[in-house]
Amino acid sequence: MENLAQVNELITQEMQDGVLVVDQDLNIRHYNLQAEALLALSKNPAEDLALKSLAPEIANVFSKWVNNPGSDNNMLISTNNRELKLRFMPINELRGVGAVIFIQDWSQLQTMAQQAKLAALGRLTANIAHEIRNPLSAISHANQLLQEELNISASTTRILQIIADNIQRIDQIVKDVLELNRRDRTQQEKIEVHQFLEDFHSQFCAVEKISTTNIDLDIARQKLYINFDKRHLNQILWNLCKNGWEHSQKKPGSLSIQCKEAGTMALNIHIRDDGNGVLEQDRARLFEPFFTTKNTGNGLGLYISRELAAANGAVLHYHASESDDNFGSIFTLQLKKA
């Protein structure tokens, strides 16, 4: 029996999924290395191993599962900036006497699935992107020549403008697709965040023709430094601010850029708007490539922003913002201090 117990422990420790064994009093009787990493459990065996104190989110859904015999064995929760998939297996037919909880890092699984799908797509699109640009340039040049013709009718002018708009849209898609293959080619440098955000704020307002009073800038006065690719950081913030402004009420203060310290080793940049927010059923797909709720969007902006953030060791995520007057959106870029 001792040998069997050692074999079982060895198996659970080598599993890719986290494993928790919980008794009827919601005490953790056993956990493996993956569970320790996912839930940030202490390595001190003398510490209290009550599930309610160490993982209250899991304790909450586990209690609901115990008290509802007909409920599903699989659940999704968010904890420690992770999305976890839980699977409960009762030790015997009675749920109340304990269970084994299997834990998967659902965010990582989704990322791996996306990467696998995009690998083939990336190889294909990267090869044909340059080939698309040659005929596209010829079409654009011909369209410009037609627009310079004299005495063309209003209907013809409108048709030529439609052609020009769609040429620009295709060209932007090609640029975005090519950018996907450059996401890992970072050239990180030490950036002083306060000055960078001030420069970005004035540049963004000037290029997008937005009054500076419409975008609030709330940043810490002390100097904070990060290691990041400056071009990537500019592109991430530009995508987020442009999306936020397009969905906002376009009034003074409709968009805000806020930078706050998050402990001694991190800081967060929040992009907040006062729009209607993202529908709950669309939030899970928000960072999927080619998913968009806009008629003119290509659905790559947020995906590329998240990829560029990850390439620089940062995390980008979304959560809804609720104020007294409206619903809005907040995109948070979590950065490590230099």
Domain ranges of the chain: 2-107, 110-180, 188-336
Q: Are 147 and 159 in contact (CB under 8 A)?
A: no
Which residue(s) pair with 188 in the sheet? 229
Query: What is the helix (H) or strand (E) element at residue 137, kind and residue range?
Result: helix 106-147
Q: Are 191 and 230 in contact (CB under 8 A)?
A: yes
Predicted confidence at residue 43, as pLDDT, reads: 60
Predicted confidence at residue 85, as pLDDT, reads: 85
Q: Are 261 and 281 in contact (CB under 8 A)?
A: no
Tally Cβ neighbours within 10 Å of residue 216: 15
How far apart are the C-alpha atoms of 333 and 319, rounded to whole Å? 12
Question: According to the CATH classification, is domain 2-107 in 3.30.450.20?
Answer: yes
Smallest Cα–Cα separation from 226: which of 256, 253, 254, 186? Answer: 186
**pLDDT by residue (tens digit) across 250-284?**
989 899 999 988 878 889 999 999 888 888 778 87
DSSP track, 185-200: ---EEEEEHHHHHHHH
Which class for 116: exposed (0-12), middle (13-18), buried (19 or more C-beta within 10 A)? exposed
Q: Is 148 left (phi over 0), alpha (psi -120 to 50) or beta?
A: alpha
Given 1.10.287, 1.10.8, 3.30.70, 3.30.379, which CATH number is that of 110-180?
1.10.287
Residue 240 has pLDDT above 90, yes or no: yes
Predicted confidence at residue 131, as pLDDT, reads: 80
How far apart are the C-alpha atoms of 23 and 289, rounded to whole Å? 43
Smallest Cα–Cα separation from 216: which of 257, 273, 246, 251? Answer: 257
Query: If pLDDT is split at 50, 70 and 90, which confidence band does 323 have?
Result: low
Query: If pLDDT is split at 50, 70 and 90, which confidence band does 198 have?
Result: very high
Query: What is the helix (H) or strand (E) element at residue 318, kind and residue range?
Result: strand 315-322
Cα–Cα distances in angstroms (integers) from residue 67 to residues 61, 62, 71, 94, in the given order:
10, 9, 9, 11
Query: If pLDDT is split at 50, 70 and 90, which confidence band does 245 have?
Result: very high
- The CA radius of gyration of the chain, in Å to the nearest whole number, is 25
List all residues 6 or more positions away from 34 whose beta carbon is below 8 Å from its beta carbon. Answer: 15, 16, 17, 18, 19, 103
Q: Assign domain 188-336 to its CATH architecture.
A: 2-Layer Sandwich (3.30)
**pLDDT by residue (tens digit) across 99-124?**
888 988 876 676 676 666 666 666 67
DSSP track, 246-295: HHS--STTSEEEEEEE-SSSEEEEEEEE-S----HHHHTTTTSTT--SSS
For the chain, give the mean pLDDT. 82
Sheet holding 315-322, edge to edge: 215-218, 255-261, 266-273, 327-336, 315-322
Residue 46 has pLDDT above 60, yes or no: no
DSSP track, 64-128: HHHH-TTS-SEEEEEETTEEEEEEEEESSS-GGGEEEEEEEEHHHHHHHHHHHHHHHHHHHHHHH
Q: Are 38 and 58 in contact (CB under 8 A)?
A: no
